[in-house]
Structure 1
Amino acid sequence: MRKPIVALVGRPNVGKSTLFNRLIGEQRSVTSEIAGTTRDRIYGDSEWRGLTFTLVDTGGIEMYERHTDAPPLSEASADFVPQIRAQALIAIQDADVIVMLVDASQGITAADQEVAEILRRTQKPILIAANKADNEARRTDAFEFYALGLGEAVYPISALHGTGTGDLLDAIVDSFQQAPAEN
């Protein structure tokens, strides 16, 4: 039996690589303030409640037309936007469960809405992790992401400090039962 696959997706600089490193328990994925640092899919195994699954870190999904609220890309990364997007779409296709990361400190952006639209078409279990919810006000702000219309819950987390990641991991493991059967 193959291990379930969980894809971490979202727009650039929401903390996908930081969460990936936290959940696999090592610093495998490079983290940076510069958008576009992660370009390829990066794989690692995580274990929770006795179940091992494969996590996939992805580069931020960039829209073909950048929004004014998007963080600046490095010059090197700007040349790879279509390839980074393609790698994220492959991870989405291969995943049994998708975790969409958003930034609780910034609220819903146009880019978040566009990523949510891509994910709606998948018919797969989708969990929203509102990262950077480092205090009570941000945890409360995280519930704004219900407006994206994905999943039944929003999980306020701090990938950097680990806050809320246990609840997210519980939801990931529970979602394996809802994932469509592999053909």
Structure 2
Amino acid sequence: MAVFGDVPPVLGGIVVAIAVVVGVKLVQRVRTRGQRSRVDALEARLADLMPTGRGTHLESPPQVRAVETTDDEPPAIIPVIRIDLETADRPGMELVFGYVVDVLEAIQPILEERDERVERYDLEFTFGPGGLLVDGECRRVSVPPAFAQRVATEEEYRAFELHRDVKAASEDESDEPNAKRATLWGPCRELA
């Protein structure tokens, strides 16, 4: 018996399988295009607000390394921003958190405008000698969304206050929502 008129059942099954694969690819393409748009907007904002050059330790403007998605319902995102420093030694926390504040001020409003649900912001700092045989070091600061919101909305909440709060949260001494998502100077994570 034929499934599609005079078409044999095996051929009909192949046609259905091809239609499913094409449908899946179209959905992936639409999702990828949306993610690319988000990354482009974030990187453009970072390049505008955090240029390289004289008086800065930036090797290049901060880059969006990835935007991970959680398995929560509804899903949340984790923007992973890479900041390459032109320092041979480990940077001080004052310098690090100055850049953390700058990055959060740049990207938090864009994500809020897009109604993105953020689990945390991961900011990765690379520094130290790097070359053919030696890798520089990579360390991470993870900031809960409540802290990022304060950076964006409270003029008196700057690098010192953010550092204090991330440190307290990473040591389980904070009452802030999602504080367990804070990391102070941890190793960079491998991305999937």
Question: TM range, normalised to the smaller chain?
Answer: under 0.3
More helix by share: 2
Q: TM-score, normalised by structure 2?
A: 0.27
> Could you say which structure has the greater relative contact order, defined with CA pairs below 8 angstroms and 6 or more residues apart?
1
